[in-house]
């Protein structure tokens, strides 16, 4: 049976500071480096047939720390995070103040939001699905590691489950989390969603702001 392990990159400096990343490059924080190592320990029992990652610095850094040379990591452009154009690099609090209507719409009807220089949600999901289908087509069976981004995982899950574009933010995919998708009889079945129990004691969540604005 084919099994995908969808791993969100560990915490970055942008995540720590509440900044929007998208295609903007960022690197792991000290906590993120610890998270990446814990991902590796969590999955050291799995005999992966292949490993893929977004070419972004934060995902490649996560993959290399997690697998520590045990797996060859193949970068796939289609696994990059959604391009968010003008919003990238901005703090979420700033965006909420400057664009209150657009930010609210982004979480309820993201397909209707047009951000200057950004991909649409439809373009993003098509790209992600093409990349994931290409990976699946290359491996008839076995367990496959895919280190990518929160938005990518959400987009793929909505497509795999037949959900709408505007269901994009229906899942909470935290930094360093593991989501497992099985394909018995070729049909997607999620048996692990955004799991972070391996990060116990190595996860940052502000008591005053338990939920981040952006995944």
The residue extents of the domains of the chain are: 9-181
Q: What percent of the chain has pLDDT over 70?
A: 95
Q: What is the pLDDT of residue 201?
A: 79
If we measure between CA atoms, which residue out of 79, 70, 18, 13 comes closest to residue 39?
70
What does the pLDDT look like over 3-55, one tens digit per residue? 999 999 999 999 999 999 999 999 999 999 999 999 999 999 999 999 999 99
Residue 120 is given by DSSP the state P
Full-model pTM: 0.94
Q: Which fold has domain 9-181?
A: Rossmann fold (3.40.50)
Task: Evaluate whether 151 touches 79 at the Cβ level (below 8 Å).
Answer: no
**Pick from 114, 149, 117, 106: which is nearest to 131 by CA?**
149
C-alpha 71/C-alpha 66 separation (Å) is 10
Q: What is the pLDDT of residues 126-147, one digit of tens each?
A: 999 999 999 999 999 999 999 9
Q: CA angle, 25 as apex, 24 and 30 as ends, to 5°?
A: 130
Identify the bridge partners of residue 19 per DSSP, sorted by sequence position: 91
Task: Look at residue 208 in the predicted model and tell me its pLDDT.
Answer: 43
Q: What is the pLDDT of residues 146-171, one digit of tens each?
A: 999 999 999 999 999 999 999 999 99
What local confidence, expressed as pLDDT, does residue 125 receive?
Answer: 98
DSSP 68: T
Q: How high is the mean pLDDT of the chain?
A: 94
């Amino acid at each position: 049976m084919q099994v995908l392990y969808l791993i969100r990159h560990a915490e970055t400096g942008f995540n720590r500071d509440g900044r929007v990343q998208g295609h903007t490059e960022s690197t792991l924080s000290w906590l993120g480096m610890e998270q990446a190592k814990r991902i590796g320990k969590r999955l050291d029992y799995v005999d992966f047939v292949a490993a893929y990652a977004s070419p972004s610095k934060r995902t490649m850094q996560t993959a290399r720390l997690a697998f520590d040379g045990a797996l060859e990591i193949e970068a796939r452009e289609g696994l990059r995070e959604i391009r968010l154009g003008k919003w990238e690099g901005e703090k979420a609090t700033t965006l909420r103040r400057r664009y209150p209507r657009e930010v609210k719409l982004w979480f309820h009807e993201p397909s209707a939001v047009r951000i200057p220089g950004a991909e649409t949600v439809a373009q993003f999901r098509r790209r992600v699905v093409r990349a994931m289908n290409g990976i699946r087509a290359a491996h008839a069976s076995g367990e496959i590691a895919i280190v990518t981004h929160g938005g990518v995982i959400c987009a793929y899950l909505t497509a795999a489950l037949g959900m709408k574009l505007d269901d994009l933010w229906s899942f909470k995919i935290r930094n360093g989390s593991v989501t497992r998708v099985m394909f018995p009889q070729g049909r997607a079945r999620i048996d692990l969603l955004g799991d972070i129990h391996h990060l116990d004691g190595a996860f940052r969540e502000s008591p005053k702001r338990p939920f981040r604005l952006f995944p």
